[in-house]
């Protein structure tokens, strides 16, 4: 009985470390986008960017975000995912199944939601333009994209862990931001600044919750 109790306690400690590692990985995944978005907004506020033609602005923005997405793959998989995979591999097969039910198919929720958000966001923004105006309608499209995408992340988290997803804070914040857009002046810069601020708040709070959850388990 004593040996059984010691084994259960050891497995529980391993489980706690596994959850802590996953929480830190999730926090860093959200934190990555905060300086990326902040850097873009800083560039977009410069006289150089504002002096560009609309086509040039679009090309620069597209190149910037494509580069940010490509870099994120390297950041997630090379720097972070390997750590989680090593941590999971250190467990026995039985504990891996019982301690954290990570299933690869759960990632489909995230992938499909970002694709769906990318496809739906322009239509949502255009549909809201009669209500919000064209300036705020564009910002609504951005918030819709983030809302749909991060909602898929939350669904993937729940699918894998069967626990209340902390990442649900992010889509909740951006959805609330869409409801508050009528309070923003009908100006493109003001609308995008508001939308970007809401995204940063949602991502920051989500990352902080993940870090706190990890600290409670260490």
Residues of the chain with pLDDT under 50: 92-102
Q: Return the pLDDT at 86.
A: 61
Q: Return the pLDDT at 90.
A: 55
CA atoms within 13 A on the CB side of 129: 12
Q: Return the pLDDT at 184.
A: 92
Task: Kindly provide the b/e burial profile for residues 150-172, where b requires at least 16 CB atoms within 10 angstroms of the residue's own CB.
Answer: bbbbbbbbbbbbeeebbbbbbbb
Q: What is the pLDDT of residues 46-74, one digit of tens each?
A: 889 888 888 888 899 889 988 998 888 88
* pTM passes above 0.85: no
């Amino acid at each position: 009985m004593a040996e059984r109790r010691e084994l259960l306690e050891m497995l529980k400690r391993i489980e706690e470390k596994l959850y802590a590692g996953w929480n830190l990985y999730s926090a860093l995944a959200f934190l990555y986008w905060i300086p990326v978005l902040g850097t873009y907004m800083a560039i977009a506020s410069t006289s150089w960017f504002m002096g560009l033609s609309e086509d040039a602005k679009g090309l620069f923005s597209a190149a910037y975000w494509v580069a940010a997405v490509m870099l994120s793959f390297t950041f997630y998989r090379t720097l972070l995912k390997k750590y989680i995979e090593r941590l999971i591999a250190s467990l026995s097969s039985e504990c891996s199944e019982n301690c954290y039910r990570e299933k690869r198919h759960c990632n489909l929720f995230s992938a499909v939601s970002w694709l769906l958000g990318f496809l739906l966001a322009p239509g949502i923004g255009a549909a809201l333009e009669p209500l919000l105006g064209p300036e705020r309608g564009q910002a609504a499209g951005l918030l819709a994209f983030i809302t749909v995408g991060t909602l898929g992340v939350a669904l993937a988290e729940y699918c894998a862990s069967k626990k209340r997803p902390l990442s649900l804070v992010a889509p909740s914040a951006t959805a609330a931001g869409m409801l508050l857009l009528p309070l923003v002046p009908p100006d493109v810069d003001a609308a995008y600044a508001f939308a970007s601020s809401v995204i940063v708040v949602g991502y920051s709070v989500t990352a902080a919750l993940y870090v706190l959850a990890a600290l409670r388990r260490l």
